[in-house]
Amino acid sequence: MQSIIQNDKSYCYIHRNYLGVDVNASQEHHCLHGFGRRKLADADGLTVYLCEKCHRLLHDKGFHDKDMEQLAEKTWLEHYNKTIEDFIQRYGRNYL
């Protein structure tokens, strides 16, 4: 599913820098991961596009990881018109 958070792959979501016309320069990041959450995040469109540097920092050092989890939950709640309890039932926890 296409991201419900970010439509334009030509920008890094974290630092908003233009990545150029080559959309392959962007890397898809699942805002929720681990314990089967990545597959659910894919199904629900909870992904953003990052430059290689930001994606590496996020995975290697946890840079902005909590921000991405909270963003995903807030967006999911609004987009699907659901409650926090619904989110917990689907994803197993609350990030807010």
What are the residue ranges in the chain where pLDDT is below 50? none
Which pLDDT does position 23 carry in this prediction? Answer: 56
User: 23-39: buried (b, 16+ CB within 10 Å) or exposed (e) per residue?
Assistant: eeebbebbbbbeeebee
Global confidence as pTM: 0.86
Which pLDDT does position 73 carry in this prediction? Answer: 97
Which pLDDT does position 22 carry in this prediction? Answer: 61
| Longest alpha-carbon distance in the chain | 41
Residue 4's φ and ψ, nearest 5 degrees, are: -95, 0
Which pLDDT does position 78 carry in this prediction? Answer: 98
